[in-house]
Structure 1
């Protein structure tokens, strides 16, 4: 078995008396694409927030490349090689495409806060930003303010920001939400390209995207992972059909 990039061990999260995540355990090998699905209110966004450090664990443990990240802040987890996108587009709207990507690159290349360095002179930063811009297909929109991009372009830019720092573990939260079928198809191809050789965990409601992109699928229901298997086995799992996906014909 491949080395684990991400592991959840009996993860629990309580808000007051309500337990939202109820002992979730999951193993994600390096280089694999895993889709996390489940009905609304199942706890998917909460689980993402636990993994990325936005919420503290109530109990359990989360390991990144074999090392515990429980209790660490989001920026610390990011610097250890995990990066995430958000369900609601999270970009600098008044900055250009290029400037957004350049901001995302700085720390990973060793640059710290400084008022005395001019960004235009940082050739390695500029080259990496240009490279990512080409990779996400926005090179022709280089100097356009992010606020003026189409919705699909903004989502592509956010994916670019997610990968710009060189993280090897990517978390994408509903990357195709709100897109037309053609936009969604283009986003799937982009995700497939940028996640090649990396580890991907994504939350997604579009079953065409899930079954077309994921190596494995984990099903979260009422804060518990009830199944984690290949797309074909998940498609035919009666517990999954009953709890979330509906009838066989729905799939």
Structure 2
């Protein structure tokens, strides 16, 4: 599953790099792609070690598990930071931005703390507490994904629709649908990982290994869709003429 998502990610990424203009957006897109590449290589290495020598796979692959955990947390951090920034572009609310910034940073910090404790304490570490911390992190990730989606939809619903053309109104509605879809997909992935942590370790690892790919795909698809919407929009609609904080085009810049 991880490889399938990664191949899809690479294909969409190559299409984006060769067919969509804009150096800045390509640089921004290259960062999560590089993170996912490192993570996918480690996941494949873990799977290969488990295949050729199942008895010693866990002890010989612990370094790769650490890298996967860090890269997955980074993917979540990048995706949530990206959509939080989009939300701030619409609301211009410092309170919302501050709250979301804290919520986005906390899971990454928790993952790093968990890894540090495991490395420092070794066998003496309380594994039950670490497992509870991992569960709390996945639950928090799911909650933040859902919160960002809800805030985006709520803010977009407050926009004064009559002041815009039909094409712009359609774009706003499509944006709302996309925000809901992204929030649901990422929330569902992390929620399933949380549930599987109580049921099966292998099931938990399966979803965690794929979580980073899901996060990066949401950013990549967002870049592709909004570029397509901007390109197909009517010429009379200028994205640079909207200046108020309630204007949806600010979300598209």
Classify the TM-score, shorter chain.
Answer: under 0.3
Please, what TM-score do these two structures have when normalized by structure 2?
A: 0.23
| More helix by percentage | 2
Please, what TM-score do these two structures have when normalized by structure 1?
A: 0.23
| More strand by percentage | 1
